[in-house]
Structures are given as C-alpha cells and as structure tokens.
Amino acid sequence: MLSFVSFSQPTDYAYHDSTRHHPDVEDLMDIDSGSTLTCPGETITVQSGHGTYVDKEEVIASVAGTVERVNKLVTVRAIRTRYNPEVGDLVVGRITEVQPRRWKVDANSRQDAVLMLSSVNLPGGVQGDLLVAEVQAFFSDGAMSLHTRSLKYGKLRNGQLVIVPSVLVRRLKSHFISLPCGVNLILGLNGYIWVSKHIPDSDQGDEGFDAEAVYSNQNDNIDIATRSAISRVSNIIRILADQFVPLTDTLLLEAYDWVIEREVDTKDFVLGDVGDALVAGVGSDRQYR
C-alpha cells in the first residue's frame, strides 16, 4: 500500500515573497556592492530598464538575474543569457570559420565575432583554434570586431576551456591571473575561461607573452602534476559557477588555498558534499566582506 506524507509549509507570507538562495552562498550575493539577485515576478523600485516591466505602477523583474542600478534606472541582467560585449572587453573565443580576409570567432555572443586579418599578429589560423582577443569596435549589424595586435593576445595552447555564465565574471584590473600551483588563468568577460600551464618569465616576450609560441599549433609536454593542477582549478571554477558565486582573482586564490589545505583530490570534486563545503568554507574565511 502506498502512503503519502505531507510536510507543513511556512505560513509566513514574507517567506514566499522573498528571494531565496542556497544557504551557503546567500551572503555571497553581496560581493559586488549594488548588485543583487532577483527572480521573475519580484517587485523592484524606481525606474524600469531592460529585464523589467511595469504593472500597476510597480517595476517587476521579468527574468532571473542580478539587479544593476545606474542612478534611478534599474535593469536585470539575466543569469542565463548571451554575452553582451563592450569595447575594451577581453574575450576568449574559438575560430569557427576561416575566410580570405577575416576569421569568424564564437565568443558566446548573439552572433559570431569578426577578427580581420589586418588586426591579427598570428598567422595560420585553423578552424577550432582558441584565442584571446580584445573587443575593438562594432559593425553596423551589431557583430563585434576583435583585435589581437598586442603580444599578450593570440592563440591559446597547453590548457583547457571552462565555460561559465558570463554574468559571473567580474571586471578586474587584469584578467590574466597566475596561481602559485603553476597554472595561468584568462578570465574572459564572455564567460569563456582558459586554464593553462604557467609560462615562466624567462620564456616570455617583452609584453608578458611567449612570442614564439604565437606561431605554434602544438601543445608542449605537460607533466602529470601540472595536468592535475589544471584539472583541480577547472573543477573549482565549475563548482563556484554551479553555486552562482561571482568569480574574481581573490576568490579563486582563496578557493584554491582551501582545497590544498584540506588535501582534496581532483576526483573528489564530483561529490556534491565537497562542492558545498568549498563554497561554505571560502565564504566563512572571507566573512563576506
């Protein structure tokens, strides 16, 4: 015989009207001051912007995402949405088409970006290659124009790509991060993150990039310890993104230190308890300042 058990529900109407998050990351929503999480149907004050609508003189969120305020104007940036580029943004992309005068690049936007060969310092692009570039301008149809004229931009090797919602990547002074474990990070504002082997300073060009490697399509030999470190960092990023934790250089460094101190093995990241403990541990260490 089947039996059904009913569970009592909170009778406080404020419970139903409030926005609720995972208990371990609830306070992390305040990492970026002025940006909070909202859900569709939640009432927002002041003026209506993108991601909102007006009903009976009330501004209501139409999508789930973060609330962004500019003076009295409020917009909601959706959690799951295509990347909305701005001039000067650093992005990681994949070449999808090679044409005589231009390359088309998947940059997680509404349409492929364009990289003109006149804006390239690396020859021999192959479909499927990954690269890091900067948004230079926009065409009349809204497609972004990229450039890789600086030696710190170009094709990517010796690593793996991690994809997260672009809303989680914060704007930083530098999106090139070196971790003490011998791993480099490139945090693309389009949500594409490149995790790779560290390049020693002696092997780099004048602008902090391996000039000779720009022209190579071959990966270097990577030892097992470095491969393990790359996998560990990639899994940390995935766990934080799954819990909707904004990604910054400081947070990633603290998360990696937390994992090393507790000697968490790479294969243990598939366990849900490890991910919850990581987010809670990093949050408690930072005291959500």
Angle 34-259-165 (CA atoms, 0-180°, nearest 5)?
Answer: 40
Partnered with residue 193 across adjacent β-strands are 162, 187
Indicate the average pLDDT of the chain.
Answer: 76
Q: Residue 52 in contact with residue 38, Cβ under 8 Å?
A: no
286 vs 122: CA distance, rounded Å: 41
70 vs 91: CA distance, rounded Å: 25
How large is the angle between the packed helices 224-242 and 272-286, nearest 10 degrees?
80
pLDDT of 249: 87
pLDDT of 114: 93
pLDDT of 208: 47
**207, pLDDT greater than 60:** no
**End-to-end alpha-carbon separation of the chain, Å?**
53
pLDDT of 61: 78
pLDDT of 274: 78
pLDDT of 99: 86
pLDDT band at 185 (very low <50, low <70, confident <90, very high): very high
pLDDT per residue as tens digits for the range 80-116: 778 889 999 999 999 999 888 889 999 999 899 999 8
**45, pLDDT greater than 90:** no
pTM assigned to the model = 0.73
